[in-house]
Chains A and B, each alone.
Chain A
Amino acid sequence: MTDALLTGDLPLPPRPDYLRHGVTLKSWLITTDHKRIAILYAITITIFFFMGGIAITLVRLELLTPNGWLLTSDTYNKLFSFHGIVMVWFFLVPSIPNTLGNFLLPLMIGAPDVAFPRLNLFSWYLTIAAGVLTVYALIAGGVDTGWTFYTPYSTMFSNSHVFAAASGVFVVGFASIATGVNFIATTHMLRAPGMTWFRLPLFVWAIYATSIVMVLATPVLAISLLLVIAERWLGLPIFNPANGGDPILFQHLFWFYSHPAVYIMVLPAMGVVSEIIPCFARRRIFGYDFMVYAMLVIAGIGFFVWGHHMFVSGQSPYANLIFSFLSFIIAVPSAIKVFNWTASLYRGQISFEAPMLYALGFVGLFTTGGLSGLFLASIPVDVHVTDTYFVVAHFHYIMVGGSVSAFFAGLHFWWPKITGKMYPESWSRFAAILMYAGFNMTFLPQFFAGYLGMPRRYHTYPPEFQIYNVMSSSGAAILALAYLLPLGYLAWSLYYGERAGKNPWGATGLEWTTFSPPPPKNFDWQPRVDRGPYDYHAEGQSAGLDPPEVQNARGVL
């Protein structure tokens, strides 16, 4: 009896969950509920994702032939710049932290909301304002600097809408900082009784490490863009060589943010995967402490490797050596994570639901991206492949193959919790496999094209590279389909999906102890924690069999 009382299993009077708590548009626009703000973010980034996707679709169509048949070089430059700016700052950076992170962080630590709920909503409005500025830059005629805004081109020569685009990124940076401050304070101050630091789920650790990077790196991006804006708009010369300025200084400032930004994008992905793999292998995570330290080390060393983006910029060879060394070092904690995920599968009861397929896809693609990163950390190889498609392939393996796969993994895994409905399993597995295949078909040929010398950012190329580009473009078509499918079947599941119980996966973690979808204040009782995370079996033993109802739900029987 007391158990049922403690876990809230007694029949309660029906009351609205967070989705039905208020139904008007206004109730959404002034909400301070972290779960609703997560939904607002999810809608926003989905729109941006498809905007950036349309831009790159045109680029990939253009690259089908060597001589340019669809776009002028000018339009081509503007399209890939828009793609980069939107995908990095309006999709990838906010993707997992602001949707899944916003939704799950308070639930996972047993809190009713984030520490500063109004700041959370403010951050969303900043994102919208920034998005409007960036889209204005596109509508007004576009920006052609690439997502990196390199000087002196961006300050002295570009005749496009650098001001609007840079302002958009400047503003969205403050949304990022606000979110980071909020998440750090939440993790420190709002953990439920018994939720000690080393009982935190790895997803919470990942969001925490990400927030630290956001808070400390984003202001430097803001300044680098502010300097570009000031030089273009007010004529204050900082990077202009005619006045003694140093254009390379911009690259240092920019990459001081933009390299850690890679970890803003990939650390949350690691967190998602660390939740999913134990659940579908029915295993404790292998080496929990090492997983935590590895994430913190990645976040820390990530601040000291920015120079590897600048090996050919003329910086001192000694600086090159140190940056190269540190870039190799950061592979160590990344490898620890990959080995630990793999080791977590050992002697597990593995089943291949869609989230698990996406998560395993993440491990493979992240490993490929990471290993190709070692090539780029090595100066002689980097000099050869700088500004080629090898680099493009490398960072897409990390950012798209890694982060986006993990985003879809998390979206499917927590979809029952977020919406209260199950997604259609067969369709989802199909989409997951299609995404993996489409992704590799798109980006694997780019490693070869880049290694053979095809430079990035040109809209024409020598005909011998056509074979790789045709492969890549056809892969992109498959990939596009794989991205559109979830939009369809997840929307379908909202209306026709099976109702999900509290814990359809038999997963550990506080978020699975409350209702699906959760009530407005998350828990109807005060959660208490008396054990570590991933308590899937007794310590030191292999995965046991689940209770029959869980096995049934997971299709194991």
Chain B
Amino acid sequence: MTDTSGLLREPWDNFERQRSAGKFGIWVFLASEVLFFGSLMLTYTVCRIDHPEAFAAAGRATNIWYGTINTAILLTSSLTMAVASQAATVGRVFRRLVIWCLAATASLGIAFLVVKAFEYKEDIEKHLVPSAGFALHDTGAQLFFGLYWLITGVHAVHLIIGIVLVSRLALLGYLQKLQIGEAPEIEVTALYWHLVDVIWIFLYPLIYLPGRAS
């Protein structure tokens, strides 16, 4: 039996209970996040039903390579995150693996943002920011890109928060300040990370695939 007394926080008198409350709390929060992104996707859906042609044309104007590479990066980061989370449950045996996987997850998150930055730069050069000099002329194409900037921007903010949380855990683990087997933070952070990833899996076809099949 490992000592968990150092991890016990107010108001709990039982560490297992505290741990499950943490998990339960993050699940409730994720439900809230689903509605957050859900309403953005709903807005997208309504606009797309109004302007199917313009959305197809605008979808073709995105750079599918950046999007696909980023999807691969983010899926891989979820793998490393899942490995870290699972390895942590075993305890100190896999301490190095946990830290490496956390570091890899954060790095992949940063890689995603770097690719995204290149994509944003290209979009700006191609005048894909809604304004007077917008590149596409179909009515509704500006709606697509308005939502594109907003949704990917909000997603990036979520990812940055995730990177900060994961890096913090990696650092604390490296400094021996994290009780890897017991601390609930790794699993809670992992759940958040996976949600950000799952949202991207929905965003990828919505943003990059319209208008490409035919």
Contacts from A to B (Cβ < 8 Å): 32, 106, 111-117, 177, 180-182, 184-185, 188-190, 215-220, 222-224, 226-227, 230-231, 234-238, 243-246, 249, 253, 256, 521
| Chain A residue at smallest Cβ distance from B33 | A219
CA–CA, A386 and B28, complex, Å: 37
Q: Given the interface contacts A235-B130, A246-B50, A249-B43, does A185 sit within 8 Å of B146 by beta carbon?
A: no
Taking a contact as CB atoms under 8 Å apart, the answer to whether A184 and B28 are in contact is yes
Name the one of A112, A218, A245 contacting B143, with C-beta atoms under 8 angstroms: A245
Stretch binding the partner chain, chosen from B34-42, B88-96, B103-111: B34-42
Taking a contact as CB atoms under 8 Å apart, the answer to whether A189 and B21 are in contact is yes
Name the one of B40, B139, B149 contacting A223, with C-beta atoms under 8 angstroms: B40
Task: Please name all residues of chain B whose beta carbon is closer than 8 Å to the beta carbon of A227 when the two chains form the complex.
Answer: 43, 150
Task: Please name all residues of chain B whose beta carbon is closer than 8 Å to the beta carbon of A185 when the two chains form the complex.
Answer: 21, 24-25, 28
Taking a contact as CB atoms under 8 Å apart, the answer to whether B32 and A181 are in contact is yes
| Chain A residue at smallest Cβ distance from B138 | A244
Taking a contact as CB atoms under 8 Å apart, the answer to whether A244 and B10 are in contact is no
Task: Please name all residues of chain B whose beta carbon is closer than 8 Å to the beta carbon of A237 when the two chains form the complex.
Answer: 130, 142-143, 146
Q: Given the interface contacts A181-B25, A216-B32, A223-B39, does A249 sit within 8 Å of B46 by beta carbon?
A: yes
Interface assignment of B6: CB less than 8 Å from any CB of chain A: no
Interface assignment of B31: CB less than 8 Å from any CB of chain A: yes
Q: Which of B36-67 contact A (CB under 8 A)?
A: 36, 38-40, 42-43, 46-47, 50-51, 54
Taking a contact as CB atoms under 8 Å apart, the answer to whether A219 and B35 are in contact is yes
Taking a contact as CB atoms under 8 Å apart, the answer to whether A177 and B32 are in contact is yes
Least CB distance, A432 to chain B, in whole angstroms: 35
Taking a contact as CB atoms under 8 Å apart, the answer to whether A238 and B28 are in contact is no
Taking a contact as CB atoms under 8 Å apart, the answer to whether A113 and B32 are in contact is no
**5 further contact pairs, Cβ within 8 A, besides A181-B25, A185-B24, A230-B146:** A220-B35, A220-B36, A234-B149, A244-B142, A249-B43
Task: Please name all residues of chain A whose beta carbon is closer than 8 Å to the beta carbon of B143 when the two chains form the complex.
Answer: 237-238, 243-245
Among B39, B40, B150, find the residue whose CB has the most chain A CB atoms closer than 10 A.
Answer: B39
| Chain A residue at smallest Cβ distance from B20 | A189
Q: Given the interface contacts A181-B32, A189-B17, does A244 sit within 8 Å of B40 by beta carbon?
A: no
Task: Please name all residues of chain B whose beta carbon is closer than 8 Å to the beta carbon of A106 when the two chains form the complex.
Answer: 11
CA–CA, A185 and B55, complex, Å: 42
Interface assignment of B29: CB less than 8 Å from any CB of chain A: yes
Task: Please name all residues of chain A whose beta carbon is closer than 8 Å to the beta carbon of B25 when the two chains form the complex.
Answer: 115-116, 181-182, 184-185
**Interface size (B, Cβ < 8 Å)?**
36
Taking a contact as CB atoms under 8 Å apart, the answer to whether B32 and A243 are in contact is no
Taking a contact as CB atoms under 8 Å apart, the answer to whether B36 and A112 are in contact is no
Taking a contact as CB atoms under 8 Å apart, the answer to whether A236 and B11 are in contact is no
Task: Please name all residues of chain B whose beta carbon is closer than 8 Å to the beta carbon of A190 when the two chains form the complex.
Answer: 11, 21
Least CB distance, A258 to chain B, in whole angstroms: 13
CA–CA, A218 and B33, complex, Å: 10
Taking a contact as CB atoms under 8 Å apart, the answer to whether A222 and B36 are in contact is yes
CA–CA, A243 and B21, complex, Å: 47
| Chain A residue at smallest Cβ distance from B26 | A181
Taking a contact as CB atoms under 8 Å apart, the answer to whether B43 and A223 are in contact is yes
Taking a contact as CB atoms under 8 Å apart, the answer to whether B10 and A32 are in contact is yes
| Chain B residue at smallest Cβ distance from A114 | B11
Least CB distance, A250 to chain B, in whole angstroms: 9
CA–CA, A106 and B11, complex, Å: 10
Taking a contact as CB atoms under 8 Å apart, the answer to whether B150 and A111 are in contact is no
Taking a contact as CB atoms under 8 Å apart, the answer to whether A181 and B130 are in contact is no
Least CB distance, B198 to chain A, in whole angstroms: 16
CA–CA, A182 and B24, complex, Å: 10
Interface assignment of B147: CB less than 8 Å from any CB of chain A: yes
Q: Given the interface contacts A223-B40, A227-B150, does A112 sit within 8 Å of B11 by beta carbon?
A: yes
Interface assignment of B176: CB less than 8 Å from any CB of chain A: no
Task: Please name all residues of chain A whose beta carbon is closer than 8 Å to the beta carbon of B20 when the two chains form the complex.
Answer: 189
Interface assignment of B5: CB less than 8 Å from any CB of chain A: no
Taking a contact as CB atoms under 8 Å apart, the answer to whether A181 and B29 are in contact is yes
Taking a contact as CB atoms under 8 Å apart, the answer to whether B29 and A113 are in contact is no
Least CB distance, A52 to chain B, in whole angstroms: 27
Least CB distance, B76 to chain A, in whole angstroms: 28
Taking a contact as CB atoms under 8 Å apart, the answer to whether B149 and A236 are in contact is yes
Least CB distance, A110 to chain B, in whole angstroms: 11
Taking a contact as CB atoms under 8 Å apart, the answer to whether B21 and A220 are in contact is no
| Chain B residue at smallest Cβ distance from A248 | B46
Q: Given the interface contacts A113-B10, A181-B29, A218-B32, does A244 sit within 8 Å of B140 by beta carbon?
A: yes
CA–CA, A238 and B47, complex, Å: 8
CA–CA, A45 and B31, complex, Å: 28
| Chain B residue at smallest Cβ distance from A257 | B39
CA–CA, A236 and B148, complex, Å: 10
Least CB distance, A247 to chain B, in whole angstroms: 12
Return the CB mask of B119-151 against A: 1 if under 8 Å, else 0.
Answer: 000000000001100000001101101110110
Least CB distance, B202 to chain A, in whole angstroms: 15
Taking a contact as CB atoms under 8 Å apart, the answer to whether B47 and A246 are in contact is yes
CA–CA, A525 and B140, complex, Å: 65
Taking a contact as CB atoms under 8 Å apart, the answer to whether A215 and B21 are in contact is no
Taking a contact as CB atoms under 8 Å apart, the answer to whether A224 and B130 are in contact is no
Q: Given the interface contacts A227-B150, A243-B139, does A115 sit within 8 Å of B54 by beta carbon?
A: no
Least CB distance, A549 to chain B, in whole angstroms: 33
Name the one of A115, A116, A177, A220 contacting B39, with C-beta atoms under 8 angstroms: A220
Taking a contact as CB atoms under 8 Å apart, the answer to whether A112 and B10 are in contact is yes
Taking a contact as CB atoms under 8 Å apart, the answer to whether B11 and A253 are in contact is no
Return the CB mask of B4-26 against A: 1 if under 8 Å, else 0.
Answer: 00000011000001001100110
CA–CA, A245 and B51, complex, Å: 10
CA–CA, A182 and B43, complex, Å: 29
CA–CA, A217 and B20, complex, Å: 25
CA–CA, A317 and B25, complex, Å: 41
Task: Please name all residues of chain A whose beta carbon is closer than 8 Å to the beta carbon of B154 when the two chains form the complex.
Answer: 226
| Chain B residue at smallest Cβ distance from A34 | B11
| Chain B residue at smallest Cβ distance from A119 | B25
Taking a contact as CB atoms under 8 Å apart, the answer to whether B142 and A216 are in contact is no
Taking a contact as CB atoms under 8 Å apart, the answer to whether A215 and B32 are in contact is yes
Q: List 9 A-B contacts (CB under 8 A).
A: A112-B10, A181-B29, A220-B35, A223-B36, A236-B150, A237-B130, A244-B139, A244-B140, A256-B39
Least CB distance, B97 to chain A, in whole angstroms: 30
Least CB distance, B15 to chain A, in whole angstroms: 13
Taking a contact as CB atoms under 8 Å apart, the answer to whether A230 and B131 are in contact is no
Taking a contact as CB atoms under 8 Å apart, the answer to whether B28 and A215 are in contact is yes
Taking a contact as CB atoms under 8 Å apart, the answer to whether A238 and B147 are in contact is yes
